Amino acid sequence: MELNKMKSTPGSRKKNKRVGRGDKTAGRGENGQKSRAGYSKKIGFEGGQNPLYKRIPKRGFKNINKIEYTVLNLDKFVRVKGDKITPEILIESNIIKSNYGYLKILGDGKLTKAYTVTAHKFSESARKAIEDAGGKVEIIKVKSEE
Protein backbone atom coordinates (compact mmCIF):
# COMPACT_ATOMS: atom_id res chain seq x y z
CA MET A 1 0.00 0.00 0.00
CA GLU A 2 1.35 3.39 -0.98
CA LEU A 3 0.26 6.80 0.30
CA ASN A 4 -0.45 8.16 -3.16
CA LYS A 5 -2.85 5.28 -3.90
CA MET A 6 -4.93 5.51 -0.68
CA LYS A 7 -8.58 6.52 -1.00
CA SER A 8 -11.02 7.62 1.71
CA THR A 9 -13.91 5.36 2.67
CA PRO A 10 -17.00 6.10 0.55
CA GLY A 11 -19.37 8.38 2.47
CA SER A 12 -16.73 9.56 4.97
CA ARG A 13 -16.18 12.88 3.19
CA LYS A 14 -19.05 15.01 2.00
CA LYS A 15 -19.24 18.54 0.67
CA ASN A 16 -20.40 21.39 2.91
CA LYS A 17 -23.83 22.82 2.20
CA ARG A 18 -23.43 26.05 0.22
CA VAL A 19 -25.75 28.36 2.11
CA GLY A 20 -27.39 31.41 0.54
CA ARG A 21 -27.14 30.57 -3.19
CA GLY A 22 -30.70 30.99 -4.45
CA ASP A 23 -33.76 29.02 -3.20
CA LYS A 24 -35.27 31.56 -0.79
CA THR A 25 -34.74 29.47 2.38
CA ALA A 26 -30.97 28.99 1.84
CA GLY A 27 -30.93 25.63 3.64
CA ARG A 28 -32.56 27.01 6.81
CA GLY A 29 -36.04 25.59 6.37
CA GLU A 30 -39.15 27.77 6.09
CA ASN A 31 -40.08 30.29 8.80
CA GLY A 32 -39.21 30.56 12.46
CA GLN A 33 -36.56 31.98 14.73
CA LYS A 34 -33.77 29.70 13.45
CA SER A 35 -34.32 30.82 9.86
CA ARG A 36 -33.60 34.49 10.67
CA ALA A 37 -30.21 36.21 10.55
CA GLY A 38 -28.52 36.79 13.89
CA TYR A 39 -30.08 33.79 15.65
CA SER A 40 -28.08 32.24 18.43
CA LYS A 41 -29.58 29.97 21.07
CA LYS A 42 -28.79 31.10 24.61
CA ILE A 43 -27.54 28.57 27.14
CA GLY A 44 -30.48 27.09 29.03
CA PHE A 45 -33.08 28.38 26.54
CA GLU A 46 -36.11 26.09 26.35
CA GLY A 47 -38.19 27.68 23.62
CA GLY A 48 -39.77 30.31 25.87
CA GLN A 49 -40.75 27.80 28.57
CA ASN A 50 -39.40 28.71 32.01
CA PRO A 51 -35.93 27.08 32.03
CA LEU A 52 -34.96 24.35 34.48
CA TYR A 53 -32.47 26.50 36.38
CA LYS A 54 -35.28 28.98 37.17
CA ARG A 55 -37.90 26.34 38.00
CA ILE A 56 -35.88 24.48 40.63
CA PRO A 57 -36.05 25.97 44.16
CA LYS A 58 -32.92 27.67 45.43
CA ARG A 59 -31.55 26.70 48.84
CA GLY A 60 -28.85 28.03 51.12
CA PHE A 61 -26.38 30.86 50.94
CA LYS A 62 -22.90 31.10 49.42
CA ASN A 63 -20.66 33.54 51.24
CA ILE A 64 -18.39 35.07 48.60
CA ASN A 65 -16.09 36.49 51.29
CA LYS A 66 -15.42 33.15 53.00
CA ILE A 67 -11.74 32.30 53.38
CA GLU A 68 -10.91 28.71 52.42
CA TYR A 69 -7.89 27.23 54.19
CA THR A 70 -5.75 24.26 53.22
CA VAL A 71 -5.14 22.47 56.52
CA LEU A 72 -1.91 20.68 57.36
CA ASN A 73 -1.00 18.69 60.48
CA LEU A 74 2.34 18.83 62.26
CA ASP A 75 3.15 15.18 61.48
CA LYS A 76 3.69 16.10 57.78
CA PHE A 77 6.72 18.26 58.68
CA VAL A 78 8.89 15.11 58.87
CA ARG A 79 8.90 14.93 55.05
CA VAL A 80 10.51 18.40 54.77
CA LYS A 81 14.28 18.73 54.66
CA GLY A 82 15.61 21.59 56.78
CA ASP A 83 14.15 23.45 59.73
CA LYS A 84 12.30 26.22 57.86
CA ILE A 85 8.74 25.59 56.66
CA THR A 86 6.96 27.96 54.26
CA PRO A 87 4.18 27.37 51.71
CA GLU A 88 6.79 27.47 48.90
CA ILE A 89 8.90 24.74 50.57
CA LEU A 90 5.76 22.62 51.17
CA ILE A 91 4.89 22.89 47.44
CA GLU A 92 8.42 21.80 46.46
CA SER A 93 8.14 18.82 48.84
CA ASN A 94 4.76 17.85 47.24
CA ILE A 95 2.95 18.15 50.56
CA ILE A 96 0.49 20.79 49.34
CA LYS A 97 -0.54 21.81 45.81
CA SER A 98 0.44 25.12 44.24
CA ASN A 99 -3.17 26.40 44.31
CA TYR A 100 -3.42 25.95 48.08
CA GLY A 101 -5.05 29.36 48.79
CA TYR A 102 -4.35 30.03 52.48
CA LEU A 103 -2.51 27.63 54.78
CA LYS A 104 -3.61 26.66 58.30
CA ILE A 105 -1.44 24.49 60.54
CA LEU A 106 -3.19 22.07 62.91
CA GLY A 107 -1.65 20.45 65.98
CA ASP A 108 -2.03 16.71 65.25
CA GLY A 109 1.32 14.92 65.58
CA LYS A 110 4.56 15.34 67.50
CA LEU A 111 7.58 17.42 66.54
CA THR A 112 11.07 15.97 66.98
CA LYS A 113 13.00 19.16 66.19
CA ALA A 114 12.56 22.92 66.16
CA TYR A 115 10.97 24.41 63.04
CA THR A 116 10.42 27.99 61.93
CA VAL A 117 6.92 27.74 60.46
CA THR A 118 5.39 30.42 58.22
CA ALA A 119 1.65 30.13 57.47
CA HIS A 120 -1.54 32.18 57.34
CA LYS A 121 -3.14 30.68 60.47
CA PHE A 122 -2.31 28.32 63.35
CA SER A 123 -4.48 26.39 65.78
CA GLU A 124 -3.68 26.93 69.46
CA SER A 125 -2.40 23.36 69.83
CA ALA A 126 -0.12 23.73 66.78
CA ARG A 127 1.29 27.03 68.03
CA LYS A 128 1.94 25.50 71.46
CA ALA A 129 3.57 22.34 70.02
CA ILE A 130 5.89 24.34 67.72
CA GLU A 131 6.96 26.69 70.50
CA ASP A 132 7.39 23.80 73.01
CA ALA A 133 9.75 22.09 70.53
CA GLY A 134 11.83 25.30 70.43
CA GLY A 135 10.51 26.54 67.09
CA LYS A 136 9.09 29.84 65.91
CA VAL A 137 5.68 30.77 64.47
CA GLU A 138 5.43 33.43 61.73
CA ILE A 139 2.04 34.58 60.45
CA ILE A 140 1.41 35.70 56.85
CA LYS A 141 -1.29 38.38 56.70
CA VAL A 142 -4.57 37.35 55.03
CA LYS A 143 -5.84 40.12 52.70
CA SER A 144 -9.38 40.32 54.14
CA GLU A 145 -8.09 40.54 57.73
CA GLU A 146 -5.86 43.61 57.11
pLDDT digits (tens, 9 = 90+) for 90-122: 999 999 999 998 999 999 999 989 999 999 999
Gap between the Cα atoms of 61 and 58, Å rounded: 9
Q: For position 69, what pLDDT does the model report?
A: 93
pLDDT at 146 exceeding the cut of 60: no
- d(C-alpha 131, C-alpha 129), whole Å: 6
pLDDT for 38-57, tens place per residue? 888 889 889 889 999 999 99
pLDDT at 24: 76
- CATH class of the domain defined by 69-141: alpha beta
Provide the 3-class DSSP secondary structure of residue 55.
Answer: helix
Burial of residue 94 (number of CB atoms within 10 Å: 0-12, 13-18, 19+): exposed
0.75 surpassed by pTM: no
Ordered by start, the domain boundaries in the chain are: 69-141
One-letter amino acid at 96 equals I
**54: number of CA atoms within 13 Å, CB side?**
8
> What pLDDT, on the 0 to 100 scale, is given for residue 35?
84
Determine the Cα–Cα distance for residues 63 and 132; give it in Å rounded to an integer: 37
Residue 145 has pLDDT above 70, yes or no: no
